[in-house]
Amino acid sequence: MSSAEKKKIYLKDALKDAAMSSAPSFPDFADVYRKAEQRPRKVRRIAFSAAITAVAAAASFWIGIAWNSQTSRDIALIDSWTVSAAPVAVSVSTTQGAQNEIVLTAYQTSPVNLFVQDLWESSAGTGL
């Protein structure tokens, strides 16, 4: 081969040589059949897991909705707060219209009185 020739690359032959020398020699049909049969099982497993997850998510969503609607019926609003010497009375009404009065037999600065006062202020708009 002359020095002029040795620097030439014949695309077709070189491409074919490069491809064939790096490509696998034999197909593995046993592996083909094994993997082809495994894949549907894998897909079914993934689909089953996805279905379980979806059912669990839907169930927890509806349980949450039910829970919220259940508790909302019992919302109580402290709609008044009066401070007197002692005893202290708190009037409580619910959304269903029931009126209750809690009488706190404690002094104005006692911890339980302050707690009820905090509760009233924080729940004035949203309920307990």
Partner 1 sequence: MSAEKKEFGRLKPDDSAATAQVSLPAGDDPVDLSLAEHAAKGDKGAFERLMWRWWDRIRGYCATFVAFDPELAEEAAQESLIRIYKALPRWRKESPLGGYLYGICRTASLDVIRSRARHSARSMSVEDFDSLSLESPHSTGEANVLQEEANQMLAKAMQRLDPEDRSMLYLHEVEGKGLAELGAMYNLPVGTVKSRLFRVRDKLSVMLKEMGYELR
Give the residue among 83, 103, 108, 107 at the shortest CA–CA distance from 92. Answer: 103
**If binding is defined by CB under 8 A, does position 85 make contact with partner 1?**
no
Smallest distance from the beta carbon of 10 to partner 1, in angstroms? 5
Spatial contact of 89 and 108, defined as CB atoms under 8 Å apart: no
Mapped onto helix, strand or coil, the DSSP state of residue 81 is strand
Mark residues 4-43: x for contact with partner 1 by CB under 8 A, - for none: --xxxxxxx-xxxxxxxxxxxxxxxx-xxx-xx--x----
Quote the CA–CA distance of 77 and 19 in Å, as a whole number: 80
Smallest distance from the beta carbon of 37 to partner 1, in angstroms? 10
Q: Contact positions toward partner 1, by CB under 8 A?
A: 1, 6-12, 14-29, 31-33, 35-36, 39
